[in-house]
Amino acid sequence: MTLLWAVALAELPAPDYREAVLASVEAQADALIADQALEPALELVRTFRDQVTDDGRLAYEEGLVLRLMGRQDEAFDALQASVALSPDLGHAWYDLGEVLLARGDTPQAHAAFTRASDLTAEHPRGWAGPFRLAELAGRSGDANDFERWLKEALHRGFSFRVVEADPTWAAFLDTPDLAGVLRRLATVYGNEDVLRTWEAR
């Protein structure tokens, strides 16, 4: 199959065909990931990248699989390759931010989440970048940025119910400036039940 892909890509220069083939491989990888078939997914994308053609989306798929496998250093390399090949790939910037955060590189994680936020305003899960930026601001005690990014995440569809069981967010109530932001926004967005859960801990 790999050889046929290579021949097809060499003989049919139409960009639409290349796009269709890449989308097909991406969809196959996603299906394997959904089935928890991580080794076959990794083999698929690595083989295609090595033997047929490279692409930022497939580098992202490789990075995602490696993250799920707990191979963070390799995931970091693949995600860096992804954003180098496709700088406008918002979800790759987000996952790169997660890996950087796990590595303890908060400034670079902040930069990656900011880039992800800029690129995903219209995405169904476009709240993820601003949410992470709000969390980073909360951890550093920056109430202004906390409120700014939290408002943006809520505007994009975030719900406090996502973090109802998260002790990090419950602990923000222990910082008066952050608590004021949380109480105000939880009330405005109809998440008082989450607020009560945090207050009862």
> What pLDDT, in 10s, does the model give residues 152-198?
999 999 999 999 999 999 999 999 999 999 999 999 999 999 999 99
- Check residue 2 and give its pLDDT: 47
Q: How far is CA 54 from CA 32, 46, 139, 201, in A?
A: 19, 9, 38, 49
> What pLDDT, in 10s, does the model give residues 20-33?
889 999 999 999 99
For residues 153 and 193, membership in a common domain is answered with yes
Average confidence (pLDDT) over 140-156 = 98
CA 135 from centroid of its chain's CA atoms: 14
Distance CA 138, CA 155 (A): 18
Any domain includes 115: no
For residues 15 and 62, membership in a common domain is answered with yes
For residues 49 and 68, membership in a common domain is answered with yes
For residues 85 and 124, membership in a common domain is answered with no
Boundary of a domain, candidates 84, 109, 134: 109
Any domain includes 86: yes
Q: Give the range of the structural domain holding residue 50, as residue numbers without chain letter.
A: 1-109
For residues 43 and 84, membership in a common domain is answered with yes
Sign of CA dihedral 111, 107, 57, 28: negative
> What pLDDT, in 10s, does the model give residues 70-106?
999 999 999 999 999 999 999 999 999 999 999 999 9
* Position 18 pLDDT exceeds 90: no
For residues 94 and 148, membership in a common domain is answered with no
The tokens describing 79, both together, are: 């995600």
For residues 105 and 185, membership in a common domain is answered with no
Boundary of a domain, candidates 90, 109, 128: 109
Q: Number of folded domains in the chain?
A: 2
Distance CA 101, CA 9 (A): 38
For residues 97 and 138, membership in a common domain is answered with no
* Position 124 pLDDT exceeds 60: yes
Distance CA 124, CA 120 (A): 8
For residues 137 and 84, membership in a common domain is answered with no
Do 173 and 198 form a contact (C-beta atoms < 8 A)? yes
Q: Model confidence at 139, in pLDDT bands (50, 70, 90)?
A: very high
Residue 66's CATH number = 1.25.40.10
For residues 103 and 126, membership in a common domain is answered with no
Ranges of H-type helices in 35-175: 38-51, 56-68, 72-85, 90-102, 106-119, 128-140, 143-155, 167-171
For residues 59 and 96, membership in a common domain is answered with yes
The tokens describing 184, both together, are: 């105000």
Task: Tell me what the pLDDT averaged over the chain comes to.
Answer: 92
Boundary of a domain, candidates 81, 109, 137: 109
Any domain includes 162: yes
- Check residue 3 and give its pLDDT: 42
